Each structure stands twice: as structure tokens, then as C-alpha cells.
Amino acid sequence: MAEIGVGILGGGYMGKAHAVAMSAVGAVFDTALKPRLEMVCATSEQSAERYRAAYGFARATDDWRVLVEDPKVEAIVIATPQETHRRIAEAAFCLGKPVLCEKPLGASLEDSAAMVAAAESAGVVNMVGFNYIRTPASQFARKLIADGTIGEITAFRGEHTEDFYADPEAPATWRTSGMANGTMGDLAPHMINGALALIGPIAKVMGLYETVHAARPGGAVTNDDHAQMMCRFENGAMGQMYFSRVATGRKMGYAYEISGTKGAIRFDQEDQNALWLYRMDGPEEIRGFTKILTGPAHPDYEHFCQGPGHGTGYQDQIIIEAKDFLTAIAGGEPRWPTFRDGHEVNRVIAATLASADSDTWKDINDF
């Protein structure tokens, strides 16, 4: 396998996940390109060096420009706060370097539009890190829908619900400051991306958001705790989505239900290795949802385990993401989701927020 030098910006939660994925992906998927952990960047020399030693990078820096401009860094992963995404990506594209950027793409609609323009002008590989839709179960759900197994889609109901701020005494942090870090900026992008992947483009939305706990120990909360939206997909299907960081008891509530004219699908990330399928055929007395346990017959699963029902986990989603990124680079062709796909998610979010502020339906094409 040919080697490719990888630079990762950010060494925290997602930076570590990407470093582990890049270390493992060549062995798991036997990719044509074998990643070499060349450089990691953090906000201080001390933390950068700590990440270098812990994750196995060759070098470390506290200056993102040093990483992006280094000739041994041939591919870049951005796992830093949203407000840094645009300038890093634009600099990388100027040098013709492929970029995998964590979601959401940039801190604003203007940012993501500029990042799409830079990526497409440079003509280099670009991807956004929407990992949850990459579970073998959700990939299989996409195939079932595309194959017409459940017929024409009539309705979609999705949620991304967690409870890390359900306790009103949980202290204020960077997550409670600025709309880009609120529920619509942080959690909603995953489920909106999932809806776009499963059902297709969204035509219009009606939204509502609110702050449940306006003050927390350490400061005021300046963004949303939960939000909801109704939508109409371009194919005519109705949609409803709910997003929350105060959903008591929910730990990883990335879940959806899809109704079609011939059947239905249910999925819940808290049971990520199972997909529920209903087929509207056969005698009524034996109809019901069938629990499908993922296994080697489902997308990407067999590279991790040869036993059905043994399951994959969160880190495996990131490894699948790394595989897709490296495959795109090796083949010189884009792999979903690209920056344009990430920008589409941002358009839906912008329309939803504008709808909530004006209490009216908003057309996505106006954003």
C-alpha cells in the first residue's frame, strides 16, 4: 500500500477518534492508501505534544498553518471548533490537499458556502464527518429504501436527543454560548443529514426552538436547548424532527421511523446493530416488525467481525468514514457526504431558525 501523510487539527474527543481511525483503517479495510500519522495540531505546544505522544504522530504543532503547509502532510482532518473550519479548509484547498471536516461545516451559512466554492474550485476531495448514518444498519436502511422495499415514502420522523444538559445545575461551558454551539448547531445536523440521505432533499420547513434553562452555574445560556421542525420533502413525503440536549434519559437518541406504501423502517442508535423492518405482505395475523441484526451481509460490517449480531460501535463508524475518505483520495472521485452535502444541511438549519423567528414556513431555496 502507498502511504499518505495525515495531519489532524484538534486532539480532543474527535481528534482522538480520527487518529485511532487512521491508525486502524488500513488493517480493517486493506485500503489502497495507508495513513501515516504525520502531525497533530492543538491550541498549545504542551497539549499538542501530549496528543503526539499518546496517539503516535511523528510531530506536533500549535500553529494550524504549520500543519497545513507542511509538505509531508498530504491529507487533512479538521476536528476543531466551527469558527476555525473555513480558514483552515481554504488554506488546504489552495495547496491542493484533500480535507475531511467535522460537522457542522463552518460556523455559518456564509462559511459553508465559501468552503464549498473553495473545494470545488480546487477540484480536490472533500468530505464532512457525519458518522452516524454510516452504521451498517443505516446504510442498509438506505439500500432498502432505494430498492423500493417499503414502497413510496410517505412520512419520516426523526430525532437526535441526548440529556447531557438535562440537569439545570450542570455548569455553563462553551456549549451554552452562541447558536453555532446550541442544539440546532450541534445535534440537529446529524439527523438532518440522515433525513436527506434516507428520504432526499427537503423543500420547506417550519421550526421552533427554545432555551429551557436560561441560566446555569457560571453564566447565562445564549443558545437553544431543544428544537423541533416540520418539513415537506421534495418527493412529497411529510417530515417531523426533534432535537434536544435536555431529553432526560436519552443518551444517544439518533432515531428514525420511516413509513412507506409497502412497509416501514425503525432505527435507534442506542441499539445501533439492529434495524426493524415491516413488510405489508402475507397474512395479517403474522405481520409485524422484524428485528434484523446486522452482520457480514450488511454494508461494511464484515471488515470488523465475521459473526452476525456481534455488533459494531461508535469508533467503527469513524473508521468507516476514514475508509471512505481514503477511497475518495485514491480514486480521485468524491464520496458522500461532500462539502456541498454539508452546506445543504446548513441551509436547512438556517431556514428552520428563520422560520422559528418569523413563525412562518420557509422555502429552502431562499437560503
Q: What CATH number is given for 133-334+345-358 in this structure? A: 3.30.360.10
What pLDDT sits at residue 257? 98
Q: Please tell me what DSSP assigns to residue 362.
A: E
Domain chopping of the chain, boundaries: 2-131, 133-334+345-358
What pLDDT sits at residue 1? 58
Alpha-carbon distance of 367 to 362, in angstroms, equals 9
2-131 and 133-334+345-358: identical CATH topology: no
Per-residue pLDDT of the chain (367 residues; tens, 9 = 90+): 599 999 999 999 999 999 999 999 999 999 999 999 999 999 999 999 999 999 999 999 999 999 999 999 999 999 999 999 999 999 999 999 999 999 999 999 999 999 999 999 999 999 999 999 999 999 999 999 999 999 999 999 999 999 999 999 999 999 999 999 999 999 999 999 999 999 999 999 999 999 999 999 999 999 999 999 999 999 999 999 999 999 999 999 999 999 999 999 999 999 999 999 999 998 999 999 999 999 999 999 999 999 999 999 999 999 999 999 999 999 998 999 999 999 999 999 999 999 999 999 999 999 9
- Superfamily holding 2-131: NAD(P)-binding Rossmann-like Domain (3.40.50.720)
DSSP letters of 251-303? SSEEEEEEEESSEEEEEEGGGTTEEEEEE--S-GGG--PEEEEP-TTSTTGGG
Distances (CA, A) of 310 to 18, 131, 294, 299: 23, 20, 8, 15
What pLDDT sits at residue 99? 98
Residue 247's φ and ψ, nearest 5 degrees, are -85, 85
Dihedral sign (CA 328, 334, 338, 339): positive
